Each structure stands twice: as structure tokens, then as C-alpha cells.
């Protein structure tokens, strides 16, 4: 009887409207990275919407209201669940939707509905709530290893400061050159910054949010906000686009009110420091670099120019662009918590990113997201095309001169 629950319970009224408004034109498919690598129409955005409309009709349609709802077919629900979790939630479909459906938010909401029905999440994603509750991070790594392997010994962290730095789980455990670069650059700027102790810097909640498992979110958010507030933080800086996205978009909702600090991506903070003369990149780099816009940073929160400003301030560097960049960037395959479950898809998408960078004759592929960093590096293993992959702050930290 569980499946007779309304399919619109987790959706906002505007999202119900969005599902109704899809014209099934299929324009989104040209921009879907999962379509590119799978060619499977079942995972396409219009097909997912068409199926979900059927589910809604089965519980909320006029016939269902008059004569009682029919139970949705289990097999179809399972197929739909797989399709909605195979998506990387990059939002390119919504960006190119002729109607303007906000898919980067719609797919996670549909996942939440599937979780409530006991059908989602998929594979290892189902362990996330337990793992995060026990270890504080989605990788089930000890808190003691969160900073210790990469944190530079000469960098001092203040007990209290107006600037807070959140390393994030993926950066700390899977993309350590990136977070090391962040800390070195923050140190070079010279403004004191604080961090939570490793056992207190828990998951931001994004993996739970994106897989539709919202039960633990409020606790995590309140714990983190209280920690930074106690340290006098007024601006919280983070380099992970997914963390930044949930912090700015959703933390206020889970916290229950406006946050006591502003959220800034590291590139915003560093671009400002360069502009204000607090940071000077003195070493020259005679290279052509290509910057990949992380989906949750560009389409997600509109941070597009600052990474380019930072790269543009490096003497000697020539910045080139992917065919699809900025708001229209193409997913590298690591988004939406799909990379651990649909590994092959993610590797293929990562290789597409590498291939285009090589084709454009870039000397170096610059990334600004720990998940992209981890997966694209993994995708390059055993691939016939090779390129230097560097995080933007990893690059900057290696080119710093004296503090001005």
C-alpha cells in the first residue's frame, strides 16, 4: 500500500508545474553528458519526466481522485529510480530547456521522493547516513586523517577569526593537493583564518542532500554553523563547489534562518585579494591552460568570472576555453554522487573532458572542484591522451611571491 502515497509530496508546487510544463521536445538531450556516454533514452530528462507524470497520474490524476489511486508498477518505479540516480545532476538540461525547467533542483527532489518510497538511493549511496553519522564524512575515513596528511606545517590557523575555511570531505580525503593549495594561498594573503578541529569539521550534507536522504541534514548544518559562529566567522571560504552550493542555497533552510556569515568560493576570495593587492602572483608560467567550470559553481551559484580573473593574473599564462563553458559547461562525470555507483559513465565523461583539453592543445587542465579533480585524474589512468591536471589553487600556491 506504500506506493499509493502521492508522488507530489516531496515536490514544491512549482516543481509540479515544471513537470507539467515539459514539452518533451528533447532539446535537453543534446546537452546531457549521461546521454553522450550511454545513448540510453530511458535516462533522458524528457523520458524521466514522462514516467514521473505517469506516476503522478496514478495517485493524483482525476481518475485516481474519483475512483482511488492505482499502485504504480514496481518494475517501472525501479527503472525510474535507476535513471534518476544515473544522472549527474549537472543541470545542463535545465540550462538549455526551452521552457526553463530547473532540473539541477528537480532531479534531487525526485530522488528524495524515491527515498521516501524505499526505492532510493542506489548502491553505496545507501550507506551515507550511517557512515556520515559515525565518521563525519562520506568516505568513512578517520577524523584524525582529515587534515594531517596534507596540512602545511608552516601555516598557522587562528583560534578565532572573521575568515573561516572549510576544507570539505572530498578535498581533504580525495583531492589533497587542492586543499593544501587553498591553505597555502590563504596563508599568503595574510588575513588570519580559522578552521574547525578535524573531528568538528563534518560533512556539509551535500552527499545526503543530492541522494535524497535529508533526515540527518538539519543536525549537520546546525553543528557546523554553531562551530563557525563560536569562532567569530563572518565569511566562510570553501573550494568545493558542491559544499558552496548547499551552504549558500540550502543551509539557511536547514538552519531555520539566515546564516550568521556569508559564503564565498575560494576563487572569489582570492580574486578579491589579488584585486586589493593583498596577493601577488609573481612567478611566470608560460603555458596555455584550459579551465573547466564545475557545474555546481557555474550553473549552481553563478561563480564564473573569478576563476578566470585568478588565472588571468598569472604572468605568462594564456587561458583558453572549452567549447562549452561558463553557464553551459559540460559535466566531467563526477557530479550528483553518481561517480561511485556509475563508475564507467563517470570515467567516459572525464575522458571527454581530457580529450577536448588535449584537442585544444592546452598544456594544462585546470579544475576547481575536488570531485572533478579526483574523477578526472582517475579517468586519465590508462587513457591514451594525457595532460597535466592541476587544481586552480594548487597552481596559484606554486607561483606565489612575497606577501605585499
Binding another protein (rule: CB under 8 A), the pick from 146, 180, 265, 330 is: 265
Residue 237, interface with another protein (CB under 8 A)? no
CB 254 to another protein: min, Å: 9
Residue 24, interface with another protein (CB under 8 A)? yes
Find the largest Cα–Cα distance for the chain.
76
Burial of 68 (0-12, 13-18, 19+ CB in 10 A): exposed
Residue 320 per-residue DSSP state: E
Phi, psi of 323 (to 5 degrees): -55, -45
DSSP, collapsed to helix, strand or coil, labels residue 14 as: helix
Between CA 310 and CA 279 the distance in angstroms is: 10
Tell me the C-alpha to C-alpha distance, in Å, between residue 346 and each of 19, 238, 382.
27, 24, 15
By C-beta, is 94 or 171 nearer to another protein?
94
By C-beta, is 174 or 306 nearer to another protein?
306
CB 245 to another protein: min, Å: 9
Binding another protein (rule: CB under 8 A), the pick from 268, 334, 390, 397 is: 268
Binding another protein (rule: CB under 8 A), the pick from 43, 72, 97, 169 is: 97
DSSP, collapsed to helix, strand or coil, labels residue 289 as: strand
Residue 318, interface with another protein (CB under 8 A)? no
By C-beta, is 226 or 253 nearer to another protein?
253
Binding another protein (rule: CB under 8 A), the pick from 76, 100, 127, 275 is: 100
Closest among 24, 29, 50 to 96, alpha carbons compared:
29
Residue 326, interface with another protein (CB under 8 A)? no
Burial of 30 (0-12, 13-18, 19+ CB in 10 A): exposed
Phi, psi of 283 (to 5 degrees): -75, 140
By C-beta, is 29 or 367 nearer to another protein?
29
CB 161 to another protein: min, Å: 20
Show contacts with another protein in window 45-74 (CB under 8 A). 46-47, 50, 62
Residue 40, interface with another protein (CB under 8 A)? no
Residue 210, interface with another protein (CB under 8 A)? no
Question: Count of CB atoms within 10 A of residue 225's CB?
Answer: 22
Q: Find out whether 303 and 267 touch, Cβ atoms under 8 Å.
A: yes
Phi, psi of 289 (to 5 degrees): -115, 150
Burial of 17 (0-12, 13-18, 19+ CB in 10 A): exposed
H or E element that contains 321: strand 318-321
By C-beta, is 18 or 174 nearer to another protein?
18
Residue 87, interface with another protein (CB under 8 A)? no
CB 232 to another protein: min, Å: 21
Between CA 402 and CA 404 the distance in angstroms is: 6
Residue 90, interface with another protein (CB under 8 A)? no
CB 93 to another protein: min, Å: 11
Show contacts with another protein in window 244-263 (CB under 8 A). 244, 248-250, 252-253, 263
Residue 30, interface with another protein (CB under 8 A)? yes
CB 50 to another protein: min, Å: 7
Closest among 294, 250, 264, 302 to 88, alpha carbons compared:
294
The size of the interface with another protein (CB under 8 A), counted in residues, is: 47
Q: What are the residues binding another protein (CB under 8 A)?
A: 12-18, 20-27, 29-30, 35, 41, 44, 46-47, 50, 62, 96-102, 105-106, 109, 244, 248-250, 252-253, 263-265, 268, 301-303
Amino acid at each position: 500500500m506504500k506506493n499509493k502515497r502521492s508522488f507530489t509530496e516531496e515536490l514544491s508546487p512549482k516543481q509540479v508545474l515544471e513537470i507539467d510544463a515539459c514539452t518533451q521536445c528533447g532539446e535537453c538531450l543534446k546537452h546531457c553528458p549521461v546521454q553522450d556516454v550511454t545513448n540510453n533514452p530511458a535516462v533522458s530528462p524528457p523520458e524521466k519526466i514522462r514516467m514521473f507524470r505517469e506516476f503522478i497520474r496514478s495517485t493524483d490524476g482525476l481518475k485516481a481522485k474519483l475512483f482511488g489511486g492505482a499502485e504504480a508498477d514496481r518494475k517501472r518505479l525501479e527503472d525510474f529510480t535507476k535513471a534518476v540516480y544515473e544522472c549527474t545532476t549537472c543541470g545542463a538540461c535545465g540550462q538549455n530547456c526551452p521552457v526553463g525547467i530547473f532540473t539541477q533542483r528537480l532531479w534531487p527532489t525526485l530522488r528524495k521522493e524515491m527515498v521516501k518510497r524505499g526505492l532510493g538511493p542506489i548502491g553505496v549511496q545507501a550507506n551515507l547516513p550511517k557512515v556520515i553519522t559515525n565518521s563525519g564524512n562520506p568516505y568513512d575515513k578517520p577524523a584524525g586523517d582529515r587534515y594531517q596528511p596534507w596540512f602545511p606545517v608552516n601555516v598557522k590557523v587562528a583560534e578565532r577569526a572573521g575568515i573561516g575555511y572549510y576544507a570539505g570531505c572530498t578535498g581533504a580525503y580525495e583531492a589533497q593537493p587542492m586543499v593544501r593549495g587553498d591553505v597555502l594561498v590563504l596563508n599568503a594573503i595574510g588575513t588570519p583564518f580559522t578552521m574547525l578541529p578535524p573531528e568538528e569539521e563534518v560533512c556539509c550534507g551535500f552527499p545526503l542532500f543530492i541522494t535524497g536522504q535529508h533526515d540527518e541534514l538539519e543536525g549537520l548544518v546546525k553543528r557546523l554553523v554553531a562551530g563557525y559562529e563560536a569562532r567569530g566567522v563572518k565569511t566562510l571560504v570553501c573550494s568545493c563547489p558542491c559544499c558552496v552550493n548547499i551552504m549558500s542555497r540550502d543551509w539557511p533552510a536547514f538552519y531555520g534562518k539566515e546564516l550568521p556569515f556569508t559564503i564565498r568560493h575560494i576563487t572569489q576570495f582570492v580574486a578579491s585579494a589579488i584585486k586589493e593587492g593583498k596577493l601577488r602572483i609573481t612567478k611566470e608560467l608560460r603555458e596555455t591552460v584550459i579551465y573547466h567550470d564545475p557545474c555546481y559553481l557555474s550553473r549552481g551559484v553563478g561563480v564564473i568570472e573569478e576563476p578566470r580573473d585568478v588565472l588571468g593574473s598569472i604572468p605568462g599564462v594564456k587561458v583558453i576555453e572549452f567549447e562549452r563553458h561558463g553557464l553551459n559547461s559540460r559535466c566531467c562525470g563526477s557530479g550528483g554522487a553518481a561517480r561511485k555507483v556509475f563508475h564507467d559513465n563517470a570515467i567516459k565523461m572525464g575522458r571527454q573532458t581530457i580529450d577536448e583539453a588535449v584537442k585544444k592543445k592546452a598544456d594544462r587542465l585546470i579544475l576547481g572542484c575536488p570531485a572533478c579533480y579526483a574523477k578526472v585524474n582517475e579517468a586519465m589512468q590508462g587513457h591514451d591522451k594525457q595532460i597535466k591536471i592541476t587544481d586552480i589553487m594548487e597552481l596559484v600556491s606554486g607561483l606565489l611571491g612575497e606577501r605585499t
